[in-house]
Amino acid sequence: MRICVLVDAWKPMWGGGQTHVWETSKILVRQHDLEIDVFTRSICDGKERYATDESHYGGKLNIRRIGPCTKFFNLFGRLAWVISVIFSVIQTHRIKKYDLIHAHAYISGLPGKLLSYLLKIPVVYTVHGANNLDLGRTNPVTLLENILLTKIKYDQEISVSHHFLKYNNVNQKICVIPNGVDVSMFDRYVSKIRRDHFFTLLWVGRFETVKNVTALVLAFRNLVNDYPYLRLVLIGDGREKEDIRKLCQKLKLNDLVKFKDQLKYTELIKAYKEANLFVLPSLSEGQPISLLEAWAAKLPVVATDVGDDKLLVKKDVNGWLVKPGDIQSLEKVLHQVIKRTDLGKIGQSGYDLVRAHCSWEKSSLDLYRIYQQLVDANE
């Protein structure tokens, strides 16, 4: 079975959607003998150019960079990719036919649907989040997001979260295939840093407005007066990173807040293992992979009551939920959690949850079954 995957962002724009595509694709190739071509954009990031194709597993998993090399948020680059990828997929299909197209939100749904019609093969569309719909924004981007996620009929729509199912949708039989985490990778690393010297709060993600890192920094500023041994580590890249850095300078937190760029996964695991508490203050989420990773590292978590967080986080069992956008609520909960002596037990409960229920193998198997059913029906 040959699968054409469409995703308009790849390295260096790495997030939950890209992790989902990469982890499931590797397993589908290794365990189910699929051939997968991932069509994505050529991206320029400062002086770095990400425009080179990659081939893995003896050519069975390929990353194909399409379109002009521009910055990710360049509107021309995004529109040019939508057009370029259609012609590229058709050309590749003529050489060796694809059985199915799998587009990942957001914009990939447009070329995915058109290619499905032109090539007469099924299209699957995966939703990784609905930030603009969740926040009730009224702008052209929200309108486009609503059309792509709920107004276009796909052969199968998938969501990584149950939260998305609340929206009215022309796709009636939406399948939920959640994210996963490779717990075994976390088990291989044992932190050599004593956690009792400092109490470290950790955040991992992209510095974007929807992640609401500002709220975490402001809550942290008030907490350090009572807990001078408190530290904050922020890991990731994004458009608002420099703004958050300037905020920390303004609040005189330079010595207490440490910024790290996007890390290699082994280094990221170390950062999780060296922290005391994971904090996720987002205004909107689908099913955040960083939450699962924190639990894989046996960290207790404080997260906002958004997306599927409410289905995963249980108070005093594996973490705590706070109201999104409420800095005082976040500060109050953090104040209570820092003083607790049972955080190891709380983190262990989170670990037990993801070990039992959140594997990429299970997600990949569910995906394979959908592929097989659609391909068989199309023959």
Mean pLDDT of 185-205: 83
Is pLDDT above 70 for 194?
A: no
Token pair, residue 214, equals 């500002």
Q: At what angle do helices 289-296 and 16-32 cross, to 10 degrees?
A: 70
Coil/strand/helix, residue 102:
strand
Predicted local confidence at residue 20, as pLDDT? 97
Q: How far is CA 108 from the centre of its chain?
A: 16
pLDDT tens digits for 271-317? Answer: 999 999 999 999 999 999 999 999 999 999 999 999 999 999 999 99
Predicted local confidence at residue 103, as pLDDT? 98
Q: What percent of the chain has pLDDT over 70?
A: 98
Indicate the pairing of strand 301-304 with strand 277-280: parallel
The pLDDT-based confidence of 189 (bands split at 50, 70, 90) is confident
Highest mean pLDDT among 41-55, 187-201, 336-350: 336-350
Predicted local confidence at residue 193, as pLDDT? 59
Mean pLDDT of 356-365: 97
Window from 192-201, 228-237, 356-365 with minimum mean pLDDT? 192-201
278 vs 291: CA distance, rounded Å: 8
Predicted local confidence at residue 190, as pLDDT? 78
126 touches 104 (CB < 8 A): yes
Neighbours of 4 (CB within 10 A): 28
Predicted local confidence at residue 192, as pLDDT? 61
Mean pLDDT of 87-105: 97
Predicted local confidence at residue 45, as pLDDT? 83
pTM of the predicted model, to two decimals? 0.94
- Domains of the chain: residue spans and CATH: 2-180+359-378 (3.40.50.2000), 183-357 (3.40.50.2000)
Predicted local confidence at residue 196, as pLDDT? 63
Window from 78-82, 186-190, 350-354 with minimum mean pLDDT? 186-190
Peptide bond into 106 cis (omega under 30): yes
Per-residue DSSP letters for 130-165? -HHHHHT--SHHHHHHHIIIIIS--SEEEES-SGGG
105 touches 149 (CB < 8 A): yes
Burial class of 301 by CB neighbour count within 10 A (0 to 12, 13 to 18, 19+): buried
Coil/strand/helix, residue 124:
strand
Is pLDDT above 90 for 231?
A: yes
Peptide bond into 12 cis (omega under 30): yes
Mean pLDDT of 159-182: 96
Window from 19-33, 90-104, 183-197, 242-256 with minimum mean pLDDT? 183-197
Burial class of 213 by CB neighbour count within 10 A (0 to 12, 13 to 18, 19+): buried
280 vs 311: CA distance, rounded Å: 15
Average pLDDT value over all residues in the chain: 95
207 vs 244: CA distance, rounded Å: 8
Coil/strand/helix, residue 21:
helix
Name all contacts of 77-86 with Cβ < 8 Å and 24+ positions apart.
77/41, 77/43, 78/8, 78/41, 78/107, 81/8, 81/41, 82/8, 82/107, 82/110, 82/111, 85/6, 85/39, 85/111, 86/111, 86/114, 86/115, 86/118
Mean pLDDT of 313-338: 96
Is pLDDT above 80 for 176?
A: yes
The helix (run of H) or strand (run of E) holding residue 2 is: strand 2-6
Predicted local confidence at residue 295, as pLDDT? 98
Is pLDDT above 90 for 355?
A: yes
273 touches 251 (CB < 8 A): no
Mean pLDDT of 187-210: 85
